[in-house]
Amino acid sequence: MSKAKRYRISTALLHDGTAAWANLGLWATGTPSYAEAAAALADRHWHLAQPAPGSRLLDAGCGYGESLRRWQALDPTVKLTALEVQPGCIEQLVQQGWPTVQGRFDTLPLPAGLPPKQHDTLMCIDAAYHASSLRNFSQFAAQALATGGVLVFSTLLLAPTVSASTRRRLRMAGIPSESQVDEAQLQQALNSAGFKLLELIDLNAEGEGVLAGFSAYATQRARALTLRQRLSPAWWKIAMTGRLCARLSADTGVRYALIKAEYVNSGSFP
């Protein structure tokens, strides 16, 4: 299976609405819909980043562009660029008129069409843990951001006590070992790329959190689908994600973290 295909999620099976969100969502107690939870997770990234009016923002791993539409509604002056690897998403992004670059967020040099040191903010919603390593993701961000630029992303943080079987399940879900980091390894990866860690927030401590909230939603959503839909490979992927989220939420060594860092030093890595 290609990496681009591995990340593909059936938004039609995920929820009934027209919005093409595909993140795990931030589930406040009583959140009535998946689309609201997904938008809430995106909003937390935006409000933590606080992009300045007229600034340049790179949305890395943006999927079908729901987050871009959200950013544009919040501040139409911010200059948005989409970075995505999935061909189907890229086709829709281009049709919608977004400045779009095809490529990954964990390889250098930067993909064609993405000039170095030109962005003030880089946001990555619920996708950075798919990078080949957190160190590679951090170095990519350092090349994309201007000095003083802000990196905001969400990822999993795993304590050393997390079991080998859980880590193996994460690898099967497309989360490489080198992106299964603890807080000290996160700090080291950011520092090595020239970043200063500003904030680290455990979103699982808010309301129903991310992991437990999505797990409960996936169980609820299955009841609304037909047998044929539930037996489809596309739903199997979503259902397995829900089960993994349940396992992770029950493990006190796992945090779903929202991170803000500032790019301060262009000479920290080769």
- Distance CA(108)–CA(73), nearest Å, equals 32
- Distance CA(56)–CA(60), nearest Å, equals 13
Does residue 1 register a pLDDT over 50? no
pLDDT level of residue 2 (50, 70, 90 thresholds): very low
Q: What pLDDT is stored for residue 233 in this prediction? A: 78
The highest-confidence range among 28-42, 124-138, 198-212, 230-244, by mean pLDDT, is 124-138
Residue-by-residue DSSP string for 196-232: EEEEEEEGGGSTTTTHHHHHHHHHHHHHTS-HHHHTS
Q: What pLDDT is stored for residue 231 in this prediction? A: 79
- Distance CA(149)–CA(170), nearest Å, equals 31
Query: Exposure pattern of 171-195 as b/e (b: 16+ CB <10 Å)?
Result: eeeebbebbbbbeebbbebbbebbb
What tens digit of pLDDT does each residue of 14-52 get? 776 667 898 999 998 777 789 999 999 999 999 999 999
Does residue 97 register a pLDDT over 80? yes
Query: Exposure pattern of 86-120 as b/e (b: 16+ CB <10 Å)?
Result: beebbebbeeeebebbbbbbbeeebbeebeeeebb
Tell me the two tokens of residue 267.
Answer: 């000479």
What tens digit of pLDDT does each residue of 98-155 get? 999 999 999 999 999 999 999 999 999 999 999 999 999 999 999 999 999 999 999 9
- For 177, which DSSP code? G
Nearest to 253 by CA among 141, 149, 165: 165
- Distance CA(164)–CA(102), nearest Å, equals 34
Q: Considering the chain, what percentage of its residues have pLDDT values greater than 70?
A: 93
* Contacts by 33-38, CB closer than 8 A, 24 or more apart: 34/217, 34/221, 37/213, 37/214, 37/217, 38/66
Omega before 111 within 30 of 0, i.e. cis = no
Between 130 and 234, the more confident residue is 130
